[in-house]
Amino acid sequence: MMPGLFITATDTGAGKTFVATRLAEALVAAGCKVAVRKPAESGCPEVDGRLVPQDAEALRRAAGGREPLETVCPRPLREPLSPPRAARRMKQKLFLDELVAACAMPADADLMLVEGAGGLFAPLAED
């Protein structure tokens, strides 16, 4: 099993992205190849017809920009709601196995950092 960390907090806006990006930057500076994921991000603005996950972009940059944004966050969601609720509002469903699969460790990474959505007890998926 490859090493990894799941970053969570008590609520939205509590500092998960701040902590995760600083940790990724420090690990990269120490010579680690860090993979980062935020498998679902709510409240993404639309730019040029595309939802842009801003926290995931900050994570991607902090990890050195090695992976495409679509890999870091495969499920950007429009409304600032829990991921399953935001997905339903977009006529989509979000399942745990999909989120887990999105967090598969790349072969060339030393460590995986995954940032959760919302607070510790916020639902991440339909199931």
Domain range annotation of the chain = 18-103+111-115
38 is catalytic: yes
Mean pLDDT for the stretch of residues 108-115: 94
Rounded to the nearest integer, the mean pLDDT of the chain is 92
How far is Cα 63 from Cα 4, in angstroms, rounded to an integer?
14
Tell me which long-range contacts 85-92 makes (C-beta under 8 A, separation of at least 24).
85/123, 86/42, 86/43, 87/40, 87/126
- The model's pLDDT over 41-86, given as tens digits with 9 standing for 90+, comes to 999 999 999 999 999 999 999 999 999 999 999 999 999 999 999 9
Model pLDDT, residue 41: 95
Under the banding of pLDDT at 50, 70 and 90, the label for residue 121 is confident
Selected residue with higher pLDDT from 125 and 64:
64
Report pLDDT for 2: 61
State pTM to two decimals.
0.90
Task: Say how far apart CA 98 and CA 96 lie, in whole Å.
Answer: 5
Q: C-alpha distances in angstroms, 83 versus 24, 65, 107, 126?
A: 24, 24, 28, 9
Write the CA distances from 96 to 75, 102, 118, integer angstroms: 12, 10, 15
In this prediction, residue 117 has a pLDDT band, given cuts at 50, 70 and 90, of: confident
Specify the DSSP element, H or E, that contains 47.
strand 46-47
1 pLDDT exceeds 60?
A: no
CATH H-level superfamily of 18-103+111-115: P-loop containing nucleotide triphosphate hydrolases (3.40.50.300)
Q: Which of 16, 38, 91, 93 is catalytic?
A: 38
- Whole-number pLDDT of residue 77: 97
